[in-house]
């Protein structure tokens, strides 16, 4: 599960949670390092927005001169012969 750290404006991977309270999280670039946010009265002190069943989509911006024709990484067709 992922969440958005509102204060630091970043995505985090939720490692442990109890309901809507995040007990431990890690950063996407540092999967082995866990962070433990401050909890008071069973709730996170700093705000997190839990993204349940949502897929985070990264969009790529192309320059004006970039096209799928000129960029082989963006092609979706294959060179296979069709019968």
DSSP 30: E
Q: What pLDDT, on a 0 to 100 scale, did the predictor assign at position 68?
A: 54
* Contact criterion met (CB below 8 Å) for 22 and 11: no
Planar angle of CA 14, 17, 56, nearest 5 degrees: 30
Q: Give domain status of residue 60, yes or no.
A: no
Q: Give domain status of residue 75, yes or no.
A: no
Q: How far is the first Cα of the chain from the last one, in angstroms, to the nearest whole number?
A: 44
Q: Which domain holds residue 31?
A: 2-55
Q: Give domain status of residue 73, yes or no.
A: no
Q: Give domain status of residue 22, yes or no.
A: yes
Q: Give domain status of residue 67, yes or no.
A: no
Q: What is the pLDDT of residues 33-77, one digit of tens each?
A: 999 999 999 999 999 999 865 455 555 566 666 555 555 555 555
Structural domains of the chain, count: 1
SS3 category, 74: helix
Q: Give domain status of residue 81, yes or no.
A: no
Q: Give domain status of residue 68, yes or no.
A: no
Q: Give domain status of residue 25, yes or no.
A: yes
Strand-pairing partners, residue 11, are 4
């Amino acid at each position: 599960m992922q969440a958005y750290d509102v204060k630091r404006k970043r995505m985090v991977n939720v490692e442990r949670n109890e309901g809507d309270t995040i007990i431990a999280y890690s950063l996407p670039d540092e999967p082995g390092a866990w962070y433990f946010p401050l909890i008071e009265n069973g709730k996170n002190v700093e705000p997190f927005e839990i993204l349940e069943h949502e897929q985070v989509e990264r969009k790529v911006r192309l320059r004006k001169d970039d096209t799928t024709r000129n960029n082989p990484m963006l092609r979706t067709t294959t060179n296979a012969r069709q019968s």
